[in-house]
Structure 1
Amino acid sequence: MSLYLPELIHPIHHFAHRTIDFSREVAVMAIINRTPDSFYDGGTTFALDAAVRAALQAVEDGAQWLDIGGVPFAPGPELPWQEEADRVVPVIRAIRDQTDAVISADTFQPRVAAAAIEAGADVVNDTTGISHPDLARVVAESGVHLVITHSLARPRTAYPRPTYADVTTEVARFLQDKVELARNLGVEGAKIVIDPGHDLNKNTLHTLEITRRLDEVAALGYPVLAAVSNKDFIGETLDAPKSERLPGSLAAATICLVNGARILRMHNVAESVAAARLFEAAAGWREPAYLKHNMGDANEPAQVVGR
């Protein structure tokens, strides 16, 4: 498998407190869920102080990006926007002055997005593919970034038995159309990120195919976000419960990087940062932390076992 280096329309992205060159860098996005029923952690960061601690620990572990969410993607009753904002905004406000990391609000609600931006968010991460056009207008007026994700269902509704004639082609076409919509609503091209939506309205076979052919999505020319962490396609492929999906998550993330992804949305930050930094070194973008092995006149004792 060769390394795919997409030709990015805007490789360098300027956020309020940080600049990332996606032609030479991988950003690890830490997931901070302020929900009592989150898919992975079951509400362990629902309390405000727990969410703030988790965010700052993620930065300590190497995350360059913090994604703060107040509502799960999974089907369920609609949460009033004020209640969602009450979950997300205090976290953003509490951490904004303590880190230069990129901060995104995971929301599809325009009024939540506006409140999060006012509190200091750099990005709106919309997992519904601009289901509310006013959200793109809020982003455009504020001059922040927008993540556009492929998903077919109305927000928080079920989409049973999704079918595609060619899932990757259809996902890429959807994202291109939504990018054009966002641009027409005033969002700058240099502030757009795309996400193929692993597992979102897709079965495991669909998601595996998107992972294998992610280069076709990256070829659109916008930085690709891969949200693969601990998802059901990993569990079903490996017959692994959520607590045992880290190795599969890192493998999926690495495949996505090789195929052009430049942002990884992950739960296990330290391990994901290590994988991203090794990828950057193998790509020739980063020097190793040190060089010692076979670098002197006499070899150092072997540090590996079993050879």
Structure 2
Amino acid sequence: MTDLTHSFMDFSLPKIMAVLNITPDSFSDGGAFYAGNSQPDLSRVLNRVDLMLSEGAHLIDVGGESTRPGAEPVSPEEELARVLPVVEAIVSRFDVPVSVDTSTPTVISEAARAGASMINDVRALRRPGALTAAAASGLPVCLMHMLGEPQHMQLNPGYVDIAADVKTFLLERIAACEAAGIPRSRILIDPGFGFGKTLQHNLILFRSLPELVDLGFPVIVGVSRKSLVGAILDKPVEERMVGSIALGMLAIQRGVKVLRVHDISATADALKILQAVEG
């Protein structure tokens, strides 16, 4: 591991993963870096990263494919064109680990060569070639649970037992990673809130977070501004910060190690309060 990767993988204190979507269509911040162009404006991207770090981000999560409900897939070439220049620019300018939110083997390989510190895959390395590429990269990987694909994952998702089903899936993917040569010390897991799950599914899964923590892998949770917050509060995306932070702090209390967020400064403040009270 690089020094940056090694420092991020120290989970003695919770970490903030900042969302940086290099996409025109992500649900919360899609198109923020395009300014009417076909490719992202790197100066805007780097200014945003600078702000993220000043607000308390520990890791920048770069994504070039929207995985919001109903999102259409992008070609590997388009995803690579979005992601690679951004990873290279961040790594060259800032002393911060970069994770790449991708399921695409070529993006995994090229991002690793460009200096990325982690692979964050909503499909848990199930695309053909992804597992091999991730193992060859030598990077830590985050395996997330998703039922189906983004285009149709919210169309009547069903489970026998949501908590048990997600746990079983993650254990199967962990075993696949180990068989491919990725050691347990480089594996993180994410239950995938909002990815093929109703509000009730999400709430049951949230209550079962301690069971996932007990598996012994660092758990990442991403609930920031998601529809489950909106459903609970009956509020649009732009009014979900407080609810997102409340859920995030409850996740930390249940043993979660990383929060994937949009509202970095407010999350960092809430974490400081929580840590002061709990010692």
CA distance in 2, matches of 1:218, 1:112: 29
> Partner of 1:31 in structure 2?
19
> Partner of 1:280 in structure 2?
275
Q: Does 1:57 align with 2:51?
A: yes
> Partner of 1:67 in structure 2?
61
Q: Is the 8 A contact 1:198 1:226 kept in 2?
A: yes
Q: Is the 8 A contact 2:91 2:115 kept in 1?
A: yes
> Partner of 2:90 in structure 1?
95
What value does the CA root-mean-square deviation take over the aligned residues? Answer: 1.8
Per-residue CA shift, 1:116-164, capped at 9, x if unaligned? 1111111111001222252122121121010100012146544511112
CA distance in 1, matches of 2:9, 2:25: 35
Q: 1:221 to 1:138 in 2, by over 3 A?
A: same
TM-score (norm 2): 0.92
Question: Letter of the aligned partner of 2:241 in structure 1?
Answer: L
The one of 2, 13, 30 equivalent to 1:42 is 30
Q: Does 1:152 align with 2:140?
A: no
CA distance in 2, matches of 1:157, 1:282: 42
Q: 1:109 to 1:207 in 2, by over 3 A?
A: same
CA distance in 1, matches of 2:254, 2:10: 14
Q: Does 1:86 align with 2:74?
A: no
**How far has the Cα of 1:250 moved from its partner?**
0.5
**How far has the Cα of 1:22 moved from its partner?**
4.9
CA distance in 2, matches of 1:195, 1:154: 16
Per-residue CA shift, 1:151-199, capped at 9, x if unaligned? 1214654451111222112111111111111111111211111000001
Q: Does 1:219 align with 2:217?
A: no
TM-score (norm 1): 0.84
Count of aligned positions: 272
Q: 1:177 to 1:24 in 2, by over 3 A?
A: same
* 1:290-301 equivalent positions in 2, closer than 5 A: none
Structure 1 unpaired stretches of 5+: 1-12, 285-307
CA distance in 2, matches of 1:164, 1:35: 31
Structure 2 unpaired stretches of 5+: 35-40
Q: Is the 8 A contact 2:72 2:151 kept in 1?
A: yes
Identity over the aligned pairs, expressed in percent?
31
CA distance in 1, matches of 2:200, 2:264: 26
